Amino acid sequence: MRRRFVISFFLIVAAVSAIVSPLSAQRTAKPPLHGRHWMAVTGKPLAATAGAMMFTKGGNAIDAACAMLGAVTTMWDVLSWGGETQALIYHPGLKKVIGINALGVAPTGATAEFYRGKGYRYPPEFGPLAAVTPGTPGGLLTMLAEYGKLSLKDVLAPAIEMADGYAIEAQTANLIETNKARIKQWKYSKAVYLPHLGEKREAPEAGEVFVQKDLAVTLRKLVEAEQSALKAGKSRKEAIYAAYDRFYKGDIAQELVRGMQEEGGLFTLQDLANWKVKIEEPLSTNYKGVEVYKLQQWQQGPAMLEALNILENADLKAMGYNSARYLHTVYQAMSMAFADRDFYYGDPAFAKDQPMKGLLSKEYGKARYAQIDWTRSDTGIKPGDPYPFEGRANPLKAQLDAWTVLPASTNLPRSGQQDRLPPMETVDGRRQTVDSAFKEAFYAGTTSIQAADEEGWVISVTPSGGWPPAVIAGRTGVGLSQRMQAFNTAPEDGPFNVVEPGKRPRVTLTPTLAFRDGTPYIAFSVQGGDSQDQNLLQFLLNVTEFGMTPQEAVEAPNINSFQMRSSFGQHESRPGRMLAAESLPFYVRRDLLRMGYVLEFEERTSGPITAILFDRKHKTMWGAASNHGEDYGIGW
């Protein structure tokens, strides 16, 4: 009897072990991605495959990233070839981080007076007057020429094959169908986007082969320019720049401008010829031994650096992951950093005296931390004054004093708008909703790209612009960016971001590289408009403070604030409103509500984020992509 009991006991233990072990090993919805030689992660599975193809050809991480960029722009992964590209590259030979600024500029005639004369407080969200000059082609070609190994012919091969026809996925196909009424305003857009014009469904169906003949011709012209230059004895780099010149100064440029002006757009051949990609020094801060790099203040990335400087003064780990005090601390720090973004950021080429040294100083971060109200949600947070931390007086004090924050009580949904969003909770039990138009604009999407290889090259890219419904410029197949809407037309809405010809708008796009002990630690970025640096901040804290693996961190629930001014549409804000995951415990909700927050809930709130972490102990890489959206990675 005893022997039978012992045998039964061990059988039960074995059975339980068989059940428990797999569960404990699968704490994430997606498995972590491991690689020894290379890693490619981006917004679509087909595009990740394009990156993998470059590695199999002997290319490096830059080649792979450029191939993925070409693929996602061809797939309209919430961007097109006429959009913009921002990147951070770690150069293992130079042992330094390099910034790539391939954001287009406001065209000739795009003045504040021009837009105000048409009744705009901000340039429009859509249409020809929303377009900056194309930046993505120049960004791709510059990165490839300067830091890649393969030919343009190799790198563009997947994109060209896809332009000839690829099986379109539901996300993009349905986005086109939803926006078909606006698409029909533009001659060339209608011809590309709506192959079933006049039928009940005019957009492609999911799985249908989507053909872009004009774009295929344009991409082949770039390869032709490269190959002709090589035959003429030019070097690899010179040949790739010959393709650059054909896009911005040759027959492609001529058709871009002709088609754009036909639709009522502003930019000229001279605008394209004068525009250049900028290779620049990034900004950085050190958070508890982790050096974090962002691009300059023509995009929002430094706001994350400032938030880290503020949060460094708190013991976040002791507060507990996603406790009410932790979430309050993160929310208030983000609100302060983004208020500074809204007031002080803009194209540094047009404003040499921006106080970035003060904004990113540890002393300023400490002073901002001291301003946190620990008892309530502060809906009146204004930009701070960083100039004294640079040893000078604020030349914008009058404008700073006049800066206003729209009270949360008056910032309610606009009449006549259909609301499709989840309900929210208030402390008195009333139910409110966020108007869908505001939230759709706030999260205006993009994609993200991460790549790394065993040679030490690392790249993080956040391209965007030209998402459906985009104006397609003539017979180029190139959809144009809508980034003009990120400008304002009055200094009181942000003195450094007033529209001027040749100026870059302050955008949300924000790649990230983090280092430990002078070596790459994490490459990460995310899609989602003004939420990007909020999600990236919490991802980094998940890894560094709470010990999560990259896959755990990209899937982990976090919060979003709507307190900053949206970079899109009418640049509205929703002070005190917080998006949280449905899994947030009731006692945390209760405490946040008592502090005055208005809570909104969704099932998933993490991004989606893509990341590569470098495991120095094992000399391998960890890849990660959030468990929602279509982001995907491949490693070897």
Q: For 199-249, what is each residue's pLDDT tens digit?
A: 999 999 999 999 999 999 999 999 999 999 999 999 999 999 999 999 999
Average pLDDT, integer, range 149-153: 98
The CATH code of the domain at 283-443+528-635 is: 1.10.246.130
pLDDT band at 106 (very low <50, low <70, confident <90, very high): very high
Alpha-carbon separation of residue 375 from 427, 540, 597, 613 (angstroms) = 15, 26, 11, 37
Length of the chain: 636
Round the CA-based radius of gyration of the chain to a whole number and report it.
Answer: 25
User: What is the Cα–Cα distance from 179 to 186, expressed in whole angstroms?
Assistant: 12
User: What is the Cα–Cα distance from 19 to 27, expressed in whole angstroms?
Assistant: 13
**pLDDT over 90 (residue 8):** no
Could you say which DSSP state residue 42 is in?
Answer: E
User: What is the Cα–Cα distance from 312 to 315, expressed in whole angstroms?
Assistant: 8
For residue 388, say if its preceding peptide bond is cis, omega within 30 degrees of 0. Answer: no
For the stretch 332-380, pLDDT in tens is: 999 999 999 999 999 999 988 899 999 999 999 999 999 999 999 999 9
CB 613 within 8 A of CB 567: no
pLDDT for position 10 = 32
pLDDT for position 78 = 85
pLDDT for position 9 = 33
Tally of CA atoms within 13 A in the half-sphere of 235 that contains its CB:
5
pLDDT for position 425 = 56
pLDDT for position 214 = 98
Average pLDDT, integer, range 93-101: 98
For the stretch 384-396, pLDDT in tens is: 999 999 999 999 9
Determine how β-strand 166-167 pairs with β-strand 209-210. antiparallel
pLDDT band at 446 (very low <50, low <70, confident <90, very high): confident
pLDDT for position 444 = 67
pLDDT band at 7 (very low <50, low <70, confident <90, very high): very low
H helix and E strand count, the chain = 23, 21
Average pLDDT, integer, range 273-299: 98
**Domain-by-domain residue ranges, the chain?**
52-274+456-506, 283-443+528-635
User: What is the Cα–Cα distance from 494 to 497, expressed in whole angstroms?
Assistant: 6
Task: Of 430-434, 470-474, 630-634, give the range with the top mean pLDDT.
Answer: 470-474
Calculate the average pLDDT of the chain. 91
**pLDDT over 60 (residue 24):** no
**Phi, psi (degrees; rounded to nearest 5) at 347:** -60, 115
CB 533 within 8 A of CB 510: yes
For the stretch 449-468, pLDDT in tens is: 999 999 999 999 999 999 99
Extract long-range pairs of 408-417: CB within 8 Å, 24+ residues apart: 408/379, 408/574, 408/575, 408/576, 408/577, 408/598, 411/572, 411/573, 411/574, 411/575, 413/438
pLDDT for position 294 = 98
Window from 18-22, 269-273, 398-402 with minimum mean pLDDT: 18-22
**pLDDT over 80 (residue 17):** no
For residue 608, say if its preceding peptide bond is cis, omega within 30 degrees of 0. Answer: yes
Window from 4-13, 357-366, 505-514 with minimum mean pLDDT: 4-13
Task: Count other C-beta atoms under 10 Å from residue 581's C-beta.
Answer: 16
- How many percent of the chain have pLDDT more than 70? 91
pLDDT for position 435 = 65
**pLDDT over 70 (residue 408):** no
- Per DSSP (E only), the strands in 530-581 are 560-561, 577-581
**pLDDT over 90 (residue 133):** yes
Average pLDDT, integer, range 144-158: 98
**pLDDT over 70 (residue 519):** yes
User: What is the Cα–Cα distance from 15 to 544, expressed in whole angstroms?
Assistant: 36
**pLDDT over 80 (residue 411):** no
For the stretch 290-340, pLDDT in tens is: 999 999 999 999 999 999 999 999 999 999 999 999 999 999 999 999 999
Alpha-carbon separation of residue 42 from 51, 166, 198, 392 (angstroms) = 9, 18, 35, 44
pLDDT for position 528 = 87
Extract long-range pairs of 22-29: CB within 8 Å, 24+ residues apart: 27/552, 28/549, 28/551, 28/552, 28/555, 28/627, 29/555, 29/627
pLDDT for position 420 = 37
**pLDDT over 80 (residue 622):** yes
pLDDT for position 406 = 59
pLDDT for position 442 = 74
User: What is the Cα–Cα distance from 338 to 411, expressed in whole angstroms?
Assistant: 18
pLDDT for position 424 = 55
